[in-house]
Structure 1
Amino acid sequence: MEANLFQPLVAAIISAAIATRSYRKKSLDLSGAISGFAVMTIHIAVNYRFGAVLLVFFFTSSMFTKYGEDKKRKVDADFKEGGQRNWIQVLFNSGIGTCLVLIAWKLGGTQDYCLDSKVSSVMTSLIGGIIGHYCCCNGDTWSSELGILSDEQPRLVTTFKPVRRGTNGGVTKAGLLAAAAGGSVIGLTFVFLGLFTTNCTFNTALKQLLLIPLSALAGLCGSLIDSILGATLQYSGFCTVRNKVVGKPGPSVKKISGFSILDNNAVNLVSVFLTAVLTSITCLYIF
């Protein structure tokens, strides 16, 4: 088999296995499994490191989504068994990253690049955007899924006033730490695999380690951007009938914060875009 066909075939097999398992485990519904298969195949076929950061995001986020389900069921008005995600959520959380991966493939093929703007500022910028994308996604998911389990009283990120658990824009120390940890795992994965897939000079290879703290910062920054958008452009109210925080106004809902301008998917998309841009620019300066 020709080498240029091997990687796409491996990508398709791995993606099909993961998508099927995720559908059976209720991490994805049918539409989510199909779109997830396409996204995973593209990432892995273009570059194993791109595929790895996507899979780290997917598996760790799915694990933490299912963690503490009994407690989340009592708080989350949109709770779904297994955290089941559909095609809209898949694309809003991976669409920008997939576009960047395809651009990287168009410009550089499947070659694995070091972060080095002197060699290629374009590829360094693209890689930085991809890393920032998944640091934001992973950091925000870890923050949301673990922060809601904290016994600490959440505070609205814009006013620092105490709010109910589940309020958009509500943050805790545990949630912010989780966001930084979620981002750092993405950076650590990318740097570690690069030891085996790239051929950097010693100084350049050593400098790649800076991506780990940068990724932690990107995860935290992405989560904060998401929280600020959630507190201002996303509606939160307390429903006295359901006794839960909800995302839409109604006769039995008392407003907590925000306006009904963006829904959760749109907030995720904007925060991912902004974090990807900021991380991309930062990588050009650092590397």
Structure 2
Amino acid sequence: MEKTMIQPLIAVLISSLIAIRSYRKKSLDLSGAISGFIVMTIHIAVGYRYGAMLLAFFFSSSKLTKVGEEKKRRVDADFKEGGQRNWIQVLSNSAIATILVVIIWKEAEWQDKCLDSKDSVLVTSLIGGVIGHYCCCNGDTWSSELGILSDAQPRLITNFKPVRKGTNGAVTKTGLLAAAAAGSIIGMIFVIFGFFTAKCSKDAALKQLLVIPLSCLAGLCGSVIDSLLGATVQFSGFCTVRNKVVGKPGPTVKKISGLNYLDNNAVNFVSILLTTLLTSIICIFIF
């Protein structure tokens, strides 16, 4: 059987197993499992590297969400057992990359390409965008899930004033370091898988190593953008009844920061979009 038949079949098999397992483990609800299956199938069918980056983000975020659940339950007003995600959360963290990999498939015709502007500026920018996308997703998730467990006092990124844990736009050193590490992981996966799946010149192959430090910066940048948006256009307030930080105004809620323009999913989407664009442009000049 040709690659055009084998790889999609492998993609369906892997995606089915992961979607079913994630639903049973309560990492995804039914809508999240169905949308996740579609997204995973597309990524893996187009290229194993894209599937690997997506799965690295998904598995690490799912695992970290369950770390320190008791502590997070006391702080997070929207806490869900197992961090269960629905289709909106799945697509807000994967829709842009899914569109990009489909365009890559059309342009590259099933070939796994290196980042090389001499070969194709368009494909290089698209691949760079996918890398930036998952660096941002992973960076923001690691930052949030590990930062909230830190004993350090969180500070609002816009004025560095101390705020309560769970406040949108609050950062800690632990969270920022986690974001950089999360981005690096995505870059390493891209490079390692590329050694086995991508065909490119010797010079271009060596240059792919620059993806790792670039991914580190993309993870950090994505987290910072997310925090800036969270502190300015996403509402945070302290509910005196629930004794928690909440994301919507109310009669028992004292405002901490931000305007009530975007919710968490919208903030994630915008920060991912901006990081994707920035990384895409930078890759054209570097590679």
Please state which band the TM-score falls in when normalised by the shorter chain.
over 0.9
Q: Residue 94 of structure 1 corresponds to which residue in structure 2?
A: 94
Q: Residue 37 of structure 1 corresponds to which residue in structure 2?
A: 37
Q: Residue 241 of structure 1 corresponds to which residue in structure 2?
A: 241
Give aligned-pair identity as a percent: 74
Distance 1:182 1:209 in 2: 16
Name the SS for the 1:254 alignment partner. strand
Q: Residue 183 of structure 2 corresponds to which residue in structure 1?
A: 183
Post-superposition offset of 1:145: 0.3
Distance 1:109 1:245 in 2: 49
Distance 2:109 2:232 in 1: 41
Q: Residue 78 of structure 2 corresponds to which residue in structure 1?
A: 78
Which amino acid is the alignment partner of residue 204 of structure 1?
A
Distance 1:87 1:195 in 2: 33
What's the TM-score, normalizing by structure 2? 0.99
Q: Residue 68 of structure 2 corresponds to which residue in structure 1?
A: 68
Distance 1:12 1:110 in 2: 16
Name the SS for the 1:231 alignment partner. helix
Residues 4 and 110, structure 2, Cα contact 8 Å, conserved in 1? no
Q: Residue 228 of structure 1 corresponds to which residue in structure 2?
A: 228
Post-superposition offset of 1:106: 1.1
Post-superposition offset of 1:201: 2.3
Distance 1:260 1:56 in 2: 32
Which amino acid is the alignment partner of residue 51 of structure 2?
G
Which amino acid is the alignment partner of residue 167 of structure 1?
T
1:113 equivalent to 2:97? Answer: no
Q: Residue 207 of structure 2 corresponds to which residue in structure 1?
A: 207
Name the SS for the 2:184 alignment partner. helix
Post-superposition offset of 1:198: 1.6
Q: Residue 270 of structure 1 corresponds to which residue in structure 2?
A: 270
Unmatched tracts of structure 1, length 5 or more: none
Post-superposition offset of 1:3: 3.0
Unmatched tracts of structure 2, length 5 or more: none
Post-superposition offset of 1:203: 1.9
Name the Cα RMSD after superposition: 0.7
Name the SS for the 2:245 alignment partner. strand
Distance 2:114 2:3 in 1: 22
Alignment of 1:5-24 (within 5 A): 5-24=5-24
Post-superposition offset of 1:2: 3.5
Post-superposition offset of 1:204: 1.4
Distance 1:184 1:85 in 2: 24
Distance 2:28 2:67 in 1: 16
